A = this chain, B = another copy of it.
């Protein structure tokens, strides 16, 4: 059923002390972790684990970026909106918007690929397994 497919996720989070740098703002590297936490929550909402044990598939990241508009500060509560913007046979792209009380904080993008371990142990590109692909769809609108 089309309606059961997942195409976006809203993730809420509080800034933790260890994520804040000496300027009292969130270190830029943590936004990539926030985006990934939202992604894995999206997969859980779809009934999946991004790192399911034993199925032989993995989802390494091939591109990741953030533009930073305003800083997040200690103990701020903030929102991460993640949307699927593209799905191909063996890759998926997300757009990410981080905000705090309606204020635009950061805009991110993430592309993952589906891989499996080849005979020599190296990761090789592979189509998404059908039971993974069938859970996701591209979000209807691309706007944040």
Contacts and interface: CB of A to CB of B under 8 A. Distances in A.
Q: How many copies of this protein are present in the complex?
A: 4
Interface in A4-29: 16-18, 20-25, 27-29
Contacts of A20: 21-22, 51
A86 interface: no
A118 interface: no
A67 B60 contact: no
Tell me whether chain A's interface is mostly helix, strand or loop, or mixed.
Answer: mixed
Contact of A68 (B33, B37, B63): B63
A67 B62 contact: yes
B64 A66 contact: yes
Contacts of A51: 17, 20, 22-24, 74-75
